[in-house]
Amino acid sequence: MGKRDNRVAYMNPIAMARSRGPAQSAGPTIQDYLNRPRPTWEEVKEQLEKKKKGSKALAEFEEKMNENWKKELEKHREKLLGGSESSSKKRERKKKEKKKSGRSSSSSSSSSGSSSSSSDSEDEDKKQGKKRRKKKYRSHRSSECSISESESDSKDGIKKKKKSKDEHEKEKDVKSLSKKRKKMNSEDKPISSESLSEPECIEEAQAKKKKNSEEREKTTEKTKKKKKHKKHGKKKKKKTTGSGPESV
């Protein structure tokens, strides 16, 4: 079996491009850009002059707008100044009217003096009444606050006394329990109370209870066995007495 020929022909890309010829470009080339139509120097000067004229027109428009704005500002200032002058004139008129009314009122002051004094006295009485009410209200509030404070203090004292009583009773109970344990230990074994702690005493008492219960169970079992033996002995005696007369 011969091997299969997997060789591929080599194609020179440069030679292939030459054989294809020049590439057809879609856009403009560099030569087209260089050969573009260009304006002459005279045309350029004309364009520059047109630009300058346009800038002058803009400047003229801005100047007109500024002049109009200045005129509006002047009108507004005149209005404000006229309003301030009119207000000052009004004030002067009011002052003159007050002076005239003061002169006319001086003649009638003597007649109205008694009425004004009576009205002043009434105002003073009202003020004094309000002050008295405020003082009474404050004193009432202060008395209520003092009563509430005294009640809260008494409640706190009662609570503290109850707590102290409960603590004292707990101490008494603990002491009585410790005394009872000491007595129990001294009756069973002569051991010093200092050498044994509370958990050791409890363990020893439990062990003693277990021993006592075991001894009681043993004694009950022994008594039961003795009763059974007695019953069996009575039955044997009855049998022997019944067989004796039969043999005769």
pLDDT the model gives residue 229: 66
67: in domain: yes
Measured CA to CA, the distance from residue 60 to residue 91 in angstroms comes to 47
72: in domain: yes
HSE-CB of 229 using CA atoms within 13 angstroms: 6
> Quick one: CA dihedral 133, 137, 142, 144, positive or negative?
positive
Residues of the chain with pLDDT under 50: 189-196, 245-248
230: in domain: no
Measured CA to CA, the distance from residue 63 to residue 69 in angstroms comes to 10
3-state SS of 78-123 is: HHHHHHHHHHHHHHHHHHHHHHHHHHHHHHHHHHHHHHHHHHHHHH
pLDDT the model gives residue 190: 46
77: in domain: yes
49: in domain: yes
pLDDT the model gives residue 51: 81
Predicted TM-score of the model (pTM): 0.19
155: in domain: no
52: in domain: yes
Q: How many CB atoms lie within 10 A of CB 199?
A: 8
Residue pair 145/156 in contact by the 8 Å Cβ criterion: no
Q: What is the DSSP letter of 194?
A: T
pLDDT in tens, 174-206: 888 887 777 777 665 444 444 445 566 677 778
- Structural domain of residue 45, as residue ranges? 28-89
> What's the total number of domains in the chain?
1
Query: Which of 164, 205, 168, 170 is CA-nearest to residue 185?
Result: 205
102: in domain: no
